[in-house]
Amino acid sequence: MNHPFDEGLRHRQVLKRSDDVSTNPTGHPTFGDLVTRRMGRREFLRGTLAVSAAAGALTMNPALCFRVRAAKPDTPAGQFGFPELNAGIDTTHHVAAGYDADVLIRWGDPVLPGAPAFDPMQQSADAQEWQFGYNNDYIGYVPLPLSSGNPAHGLLCVNHEYTNEELMFPNYAGDTAETVEIEMAAHGASIVEVRRSADGKWQYVPNSRFNRRISPRRTTIELSGPAAGHTRLKTTADPSARRVAGTLNNCGGGLTAWGTYLIAEENFHGYFGGRLPTDHPEQRNHRRYGVPGGAYGWHHYHQRFDVGQEPNEPNRFGWIVEVDPYDPNTSPVKRTALGRFKHEGAATLLNADGRVVVYMGDDQCFEYVYKFVTRGRFDSGDRAANRDLLDNGTLFVAKFNEDGTLEWLPLVFGNGALIPESGFHSQADVVIEARRAADLLGATPMDRPEDVEANPKTGKVYIMLSNNSKRTPQDAHAANPRGPNPYGHIVELTPESGDHGAIRGHWDLLVVCGDPSKPDCAALWHPKVTGNGWFTDPDNCAVDNRGRLWIATDDNSATTTGRSNGIWAIETDGDLRGLPRHFFRVPAGAELCGPAFSPDDETLFLAVQHPADNGEQWPVFARKSTFEDPSTRWPDFRPEIPPRPSVVVVTKQGGGKIG
């Protein structure tokens, strides 16, 4: 029945992107509690910013770096040398002087051979399946050929997280059967061949044999690992519990040493509707993940998204998906050994002993940080031997202690409370209900762990903690992080003895975000931070090939910050530790995602998603953006073309390394 559907429309953006409504019922000490106990209120106040009327800067107590370390001399070769970009907000993108930022590929551009040209007034699901998807998020670059390390010819692996129907469709009044099919086709991922020409300009190859679209509409994905074949994943369409139709809400991701692409499934709960009987055995499990979220109307047209009809379908989402970008004919695989939660990313690192370690965050307030350590070891001489490395190993969750130490708690059936008396009867139950397993082991609730990135040069690991507006003042004193914590912070992990497979480590704070000119923010930065240098809501991040950290933001709050999201480079060591520098900013309403560097650091790929979103939050526009009336028509700026999520490629004028 093709009836318009707009149930829950006003809640969609919250559900689709962050969903900071906590579903964690535990009373474990939060990260803020630990910082409070460790530093103490008086010590924190001594370290809190003090505004300088002359310089507009702040003072920072060495307590910011909890473990005492000797000051290191500045290392100019590792510092950022670009002229800082002015923060602000308008209808287009901006990059630091001396750099070019060109649009490489946009929503609707042809990807597969024979794909039609983009026509926003005559969209169809079949056309969208052949075109670049919507709201590009994570970007990974893999060279062609695989072993070459080629910085000028490769494949872009791009996630498509969700859709903004009010910006996609003309005269949108709610979902219909037709719009649902287009939305589904616009989700998933795109793999696109790209190359840099002799003049330094990048182009994508529309008819490449490598090009591929992955969607929840037509792509069959295999299940592997401990949950594959389990009865809790069986559905009417798949009684074997070994094949899933597609992947949803693909946010962050990662690349492996053997050249595969990891897709993180994040806010999958929002795609499910209907009602589960209160006595159903999945009721507790679904409640812990916020299922059904009701952000979309898909369940009106597809039985599998109605939990009343298919109660096991939600258990088939929330995983890490592995894709071989070099072979479009292979099926992607959901690696269930890595656990089920709202994955923001999957940063892989080769440990010194050859095991592979994957760091992951669960993007919701009061959720956890995880890592997975493979049982087997990477074989650099045999790519096929690495194919199933991610099916066997140990999943851990982090416990942050108040003395600055870190414990990794194994999420293994039979460990502690992970036993039949608690409702766990196998490792399949543990990974399906990874959140509840982490609850029972006493993991530390965090302030929305988003991207987690490992630095192979230093061995450090960085966690982007975006915000937590649900924290109350009673949860923490005037310590850091804050209660509430609307601006986020960044945590740095150091594994014990440099071993990422170890069960212990240490943690520090890199920065605490917010406007340093406002003492109430209780922000902590390097004293030389500028008015353009500070940021809020760290989301995605990247480490360039020289080991330097770059931060992408998603505050989407023009009313409170007066600036667009963008990317900042930040010093992580030496006397300039904690000093950020603004490099790139997106147009009004957009979020900056997926920073990825070419192997020579001469190209930076950036994903700009949902331009023109939340027009009512930008005082200059001050009304809701729609297809007909958006706050910006970036990047085409043509009256008949709506705003289009796009991938931007940044290069240095005259050539050279970024930053």
Spans of the chain, pLDDT less than 50: 1-18, 31-32, 34, 38-77, 477-480
The residue with tokens 């460990």 is: 415
Q: What is the pLDDT of residue 557?
A: 67
Angle at 113 between CA 107 and CA 115, to 5 degrees: 45
Sign of CA dihedral 221, 222, 227, 230: positive
| Residue 130 structure tokens | 């052949």
Contact 587, 632 (CB under 8 A): yes
| Residue 384 structure tokens | 């096929």
The predicted-structure confidence for 409-425, as pLDDT tens digits, reads as follows 999 999 999 999 999 99
The predicted-structure confidence for 464-515, as pLDDT tens digits, reads as follows 999 988 877 667 533 235 778 889 999 999 999 999 999 999 999 999 999 9
φ, ψ (nearest 5 deg) of residue 323: -125, 140
Q: What is the pLDDT of residue 556?
A: 61
The residue with tokens 């923060």 is: 87
Cα 193 from Cα 206, distance rounded (Å): 8
The predicted-structure confidence for 607-640, as pLDDT tens digits, reads as follows 999 999 999 999 999 999 999 999 999 999 999 9
Cα 490 from Cα 492, distance rounded (Å): 7
| Residue 322 structure tokens | 């592995």
| Residue 1 structure tokens | 């029945």
Q: Please tell me whether the overall predicted TM-score, pTM, comes out greater than 0.95 for this model.
A: no
